[in-house]
Structure 1
Amino acid sequence: MAMYRIGIMVDQLHLQAWQLNCVQELQLSGLARIEVIILNQHPLSSKKSSNFLYKLYRKVDRFLFKPAQDAFKKQFIYSLLEKTTPVIPVQPIQSKYRDAFSSENLNEIASFHLDIILRFGFRILSGPILALPRLGIWSFHHGNPRYYRGGPPAFWEVMEKQASTGVVLMRLSEALDQGEILYESLTQTDPLSVERNAQKLFWVSSFFPVRVLKRFALDPLVVPASSPIAPPAPLKRNPSNWQMLALLTKHLWNTIDRKFDEWKLPAHWEVGSANVEIIQISGNTVIPPKSFLKNPFPNTYLADPFPVKEGKTTWIFAECYDKKSAKGSIVVLDGNGLGHRVLEESWHVSYPFIFSVNDTFFMVPESSQVGKLYLYEAIKFPFHWERKSILLAIEGYDPTIYKNEKGFWLFVNQKSHELSSPFDELHLYFSPTLTQAHWEPSPLNPIVSDVRKARPAGNIFNWGDQLIRPAQDSELRYGHRIRLMEITNLSLTHYQEQEIGRVEADAPALGIHTLNFQEETAWVDFYFRK
């Protein structure tokens, strides 16, 4: 396989941790080699100096919420690169906001025959440099360019209570913020801290270049890219002192109000049902919160319902969350108020995904707390289960298995980094058999990187000739609603899906995040605060 020749544009030889991780991921992939460092000899900032209150807020926020794995900690670039990696010093031709390159510098860079230049430095680029690498200059924009351009990154989304914060990898063009988007992701905005919001955003972006190269390696004739954003969002700037005072006052009040509501009205879930006829697969469905399943376990709530029919009996498996111990177990209910605890571990378990193979029932619950997915076998269904094996040694969220004529497909959310969100990224694995399974990851992983439609929300099911994957939409809040995604192409090297419908809970419920069917009944869980 051909190696992609990459150059790195920097303002100094010390890079931030997320940038170094980006370089390291490229090197470990076996797809790329860093050929040259392009060093700015006269770096200028395009930004105006920050005002006092903004600086003070960011220092306090960083002091309170800076993680051990700090995305912005600087380290010498040669701690990763070979000491012989050449450096091209560049004195850019500078205008008010833009940097261009002399013909001498262009010729020297061209001699390396680069496929890609990663931009970690310089200002807005202009001129022939943009077309010099075969696949262009790739640059990060930490913010959703449809709504936020400029800066500071991850700041305005928190202050303006935006539900999500975006990040893109873009191939640059002469038009500012109008390049082709090579990769993008959306995550739920941290409601409290700009620092925390920025940390997870910058860490996840460090994996984007290697993901694009893996996709490109599958089809070298096409670079995956979407059209430029049009029209671009207005430019944002660092807030003035008066702006910052108003923003902080409002932010503080919102935080106090939110924390008081969380204390006064803690999260609560209930399992309910509805007639399958009300579900609009192609369209929007609003399910009234009623027909609740009786919960026989005191001081708990039930969520994640998975119905299983055995003979004439329909059993409802669910997570039973103990409010005192803050730990979940798996219970089974018969629909008449009788329940039995069937799986309890020393760690939290939830999302009891159950399926059968050759008349034997198996369960793969979520057990992300221990960093493993376990396969359980029913010794005496539905009450007695035995841990059979480790299905996959990963920190996986809401594992969902789909079986077809080729074998078993595992859909599961994973975090690309310790500080990433478990809501955002869906991974795909395949195994031809369940016993002694070797789960092969898709080179496209993650196949979805979007808080609105990544995390599984129940069994993948057929509706006529459509294959539907229910997905949690946690953009506004965890468990807000479900998006129905039609899978149109399923293989390890090609995956495509499209949204065809949504399922929401009617008031007074605040959300819904599991949808499963048993004959004429749809089983769901409703989110409340009470």
Structure 2
Amino acid sequence: MNNKYTLSITSHDNFYRGVYKAVLFYDQIELIFFEEIDSTLKQVKCVSLAPDRVSFFNSLQNTRDKIKLICQRLGIEEKELGYDKSSLPLLEQFSYKTLFLAKMFYKMFIPMQWVIVYKQLDSELNKASWHKIIPPKEVFQADPFIIYKNNKYYVFYEELKFADYHGYLAVAELDLKSGKLVNAKTILKLDYHLSYPFVFEENNHFYMIPETGDHHAIDLYECTSFPYQWQKKQTLIDNIQAVDSTLLKHDGAWYLFTSEKVKGANYDDELSIYKTEDLFNQPFKKLYNDPVITDVKKARMAGKFIHRGGDILRISQNSGKRYGYRANINKVLQIEGGYKEEKIGIIDCDDKALGFHTYNEAEGIAVGDQLIARFDFYSLKRFIGGNLKRVLF
């Protein structure tokens, strides 16, 4: 029996054509692996990654790394994989690169800022309009988590100053009358980047798992005086580069959903699950050797799990068109014995929003974040200057 593996790159046999077209026209670089058995092609794996919209070189290299990673997981040699690696005709290359430069320089003149939004909650998650809370132009605010306690809404979020691009965590009260965040204070600022303050309650105590990918660990913090005082309780998983770690307590066990960065997989591409029977006293172990999702349009977490009418809903990011483009609503069908879910909708947002990548809710109020365009002088100078440095240096 002759087995031969072939690869399709965004519906093309040629590697360069598939990547170039994905960067210019598509939401993702899609890789479909086929095995030929007795002259019949059988799809064995479909994965996707986000194109780098300002670098053909990075997109090509990231795709090569992804191909190597998937070959390792499939247990095949990359040389067994058949696809066209030949260079494209010069005229075709020129046309792609000319269009690429035109699009890139157009995007350089759209300064963007993440802002927190909120709305009255409805049963369908996506009908009422969002109210924006615009922060100072020098910062962005994102990744909001909301807790209702003592008749107040507390919003935990990431704040980042554009001057140093170093994220830290803050909390504020959401004043529904004024539509503002009040009594804001920084609660956690460390030597490494922090974001995604996943806050949850267990046995009448509040805990938090912040995103600490740069620290190569997933740490658990305990609140010693709500909501402003926090201290590290323990490290849940060490020697890991992971983001947006989110717990689900189900049938007496704790499942940790997270997105890991390894060679061939960026934070947005994949979703892995870890499990423990005792959150505080037993180590987490991988539930499956391989990621359960390998699709940039639905892998990465975008907030807490939502329990709605007996269903468990997982909110995930769609980062195909751009990072944090939209948030999906996925119904969890099965965790053990092979993870399964189905997409049942998206979180609706302002039509003018350039991105929406976090959603959480509590006691009739939903919070999220939107990426908006901001055209004041400071934002134009900051955004265009940063992009020019990236391109030229």
TM-score of the aligned structures, taking structure 1 as reference length:
0.64
- Unpaired segments ≥5 residues, structure 2: 76-83, 176-181, 375-393
Point out 4+ residue stretches in structure 1 off by more than 6 angstroms: none
Query: Greater CA deviation, 164-173 or 362-371?
Result: 164-173
* 1:343 corresponds to: 188
- Give how far 1:386 is off: 0.3
Query: Aligned partners of 2:127 and 2:309: how far apart in 1?
Result: 21
Work out whether 1:513 is the aligned partner of 2:357. Answer: yes
Whether the aligned pair in 2 keeps the contact of 1:409 and 1:429 (CA below 8 Å) is yes
* 1:245 corresponds to: 94
The verdict on how the C-alpha distance between 1:511 and 1:278 changes in structure 2, with shifts beyond 3 A counting, is farther
Local SS of the residue matching 1:478: coil
Aligned pairs, how many? 359
Whether the aligned pair in 1 keeps the contact of 2:19 and 2:29 (CA below 8 Å) is no
Whether the aligned pair in 1 keeps the contact of 2:120 and 2:128 (CA below 8 Å) is no
* 2:31 corresponds to: 167
Q: Deviations over 1:104-158 (max 9, x none)?
A: xxxxxxxxxxxxxxxxxxxxxxxxxxx24xxxx25241513xx323443644325
Local SS of the residue matching 1:292: strand
TM-score of the aligned structures, taking structure 2 as reference length:
0.84
Work out whether 1:304 is the aligned partner of 2:166. Answer: no
* 1:141 corresponds to: 7
Equivalences for residues 130-279 of structure 1 within 5 A: 131-132=1-2, 137-141=3-7, 143-144=9-10, 147-152=11-16, 154-158=18-22, 160-173=24-37, 179-209=41-71, 211-212=73-74, 239-258=88-107, 260-261=108-109, 265-277=110-122, 279=124
Q: Deviations over 1:398-417 (max 9, x none)?
A: 01001123221100001231
Query: Aligned partners of 2:206 and 2:123: how far apart in 1?
Result: 30
Query: Aligned partners of 1:275 and 1:420: how far apart in 2?
Result: 37
The verdict on how the C-alpha distance between 1:243 and 1:168 changes in structure 2, with shifts beyond 3 A counting, is closer
Query: Greater CA deviation, 357-366 or 334-343?
Result: 334-343
Query: Aligned partners of 1:287 and 1:206: how far apart in 2?
Result: 45
Whether the aligned pair in 1 keeps the contact of 2:248 and 2:255 (CA below 8 Å) is yes
Local SS of the residue matching 1:449: coil
Work out whether 1:401 is the aligned partner of 2:250. Answer: no
* 1:3 corresponds to: none
- Give how far 1:307 is off: 0.6
Query: Aligned partners of 1:250 and 1:153: how far apart in 2?
Result: 14
- Unpaired segments ≥5 residues, structure 1: 1-130, 214-234
* 1:291 corresponds to: 131
The verdict on how the C-alpha distance between 1:159 and 1:212 changes in structure 2, with shifts beyond 3 A counting, is closer
Whether the aligned pair in 2 keeps the contact of 1:286 and 1:505 (CA below 8 Å) is no
Query: Aligned partners of 1:310 and 1:188: how far apart in 2?
Result: 39
Relative contact order, higher structure (CA 8 A, sep 6+): 2
* 1:485 corresponds to: 330
- Bigger share in strand: 2
Query: Greater CA deviation, 151-160 or 326-335?
Result: 151-160
Whether the aligned pair in 1 keeps the contact of 2:333 and 2:342 (CA below 8 Å) is yes
Query: Aligned partners of 2:100 and 2:256: how far apart in 1?
Result: 41
Aligned partner of 1:334 among 173, 185, 189: 173
Percent identity, aligned pairs only, is 22
Query: Aligned partners of 2:54 and 2:228: how far apart in 1?
Result: 43
What letter is aligned with 1:245?
F
Q: Which of 1 and 2 has greater Rg? A: 1
Query: Greater CA deviation, 445-454 or 244-253?
Result: 244-253
Work out whether 1:472 is the aligned partner of 2:317. Answer: yes
Work out whether 1:525 is the aligned partner of 2:374. Answer: no
